[in-house]
Amino acid sequence: MARCEIFAGNWKMYKTRQEALDLVRGILAGISDIGGREVVVFPPSPWALPVSELCRGTKVSVGIQNMYFEQEGAFTGEVSPLMVKDAGCRYVLIGHSERRHVFGETDEAVNKKAAAALKNGIEPMICVGELLDEREKGNTNDVLKRQVEKALAGVTAEQMKKVVVAYEPVWAIGTGKVATPETADEAHDFIRRVVKDLYGAGTADALPILYGGSVKPDNIAGLHAKENIDGVLVGGASLKAESFLNIICVK
Ligand code: PEP
């Protein structure tokens, strides 16, 4: 079935305001014939609003890299879904491996954030993925099943129309070690089967599942050719307009 294809760039904690605006201008200037592909950028939170203003009415959507699940309150340092919406963001990255493994974000927090996003009309891009040790011990599928099931607890089939999953093996993020297209496709197929068991074939077939982990212009073609890979979430290679455009425009 034809699923929407999404090419997303996670800028992590890089770029001054000027650099962020220059990068998005470069992306906008280079996007030409991308058909039905969706492009999303995740700038650092302080630049979400100016980047959204530049992207309004263009083919590029904006997301935030993280948010809290409460609407407002005494939560120093956090950003609420209301603020994310107000800053013009369509998407939120939830459960990125750096959130899980550097900041100790749990499956429960991921679930609360996904629910808060959906309640507020923000589309969660939920990241899942195994550690190297988990893969080597043969536990990849158990980890993926647990992360997917916990993240989606309480999410309705209707809400699933606004959910994106990103498979990001932790051993491939920022390491230069990309998963082979076959390894990634196998994991995507497994995730889709988990979603099918939860919601049925219609929802599972329609769910965009992105691959993330050391995607570069020179390895995108093999990943893009795979049936179950509906786009990519790119870190390092999204920090330069030229390399991100080479990924977005893959044949
Ligand atoms: C990411 O930040 O989600 C990511 C996949 O990073 P990189 O492309 O640099 O591995």
Query: In tens digits, what is the pLDDT along the chain, a chain of 251 residues?
Result: 568 899 999 999 999 999 999 999 999 999 987 888 999 999 999 999 999 999 999 999 999 999 999 999 999 999 999 999 999 999 999 999 999 999 999 999 999 999 999 999 999 999 999 999 999 999 999 999 999 999 999 999 999 999 999 999 999 998 989 999 999 999 999 999 999 999 999 999 999 999 999 999 999 999 999 999 999 999 999 999 999 999 999 98
pLDDT score at 229: 96
How large a percentage of the chain has pLDDT more than 70? 99
SS3 118: helix
Is the sign of the CA dihedral 19, 240, 44, 161 positive or negative? positive
Distance CA 31, CA 246 (A): 10
CB 129 near ligand 1, within 6 Å: no
Q: If one looks up domain 6-248 in CATH, what number appears?
A: 3.20.20.70
Residue 231 beta carbon below 6 angstroms from any ligand 1 atom: no
Distance 70 CA to ligand 1 centre (A): 27
6-10/164-167 β-pairing: unpaired
Q: What span, in angstroms and rounded, lies between the C-alpha atoms of 187 and 181?
A: 10
CA distance to 23, 86, 151, 207, per residue, from 81 (Å): 25, 8, 17, 23
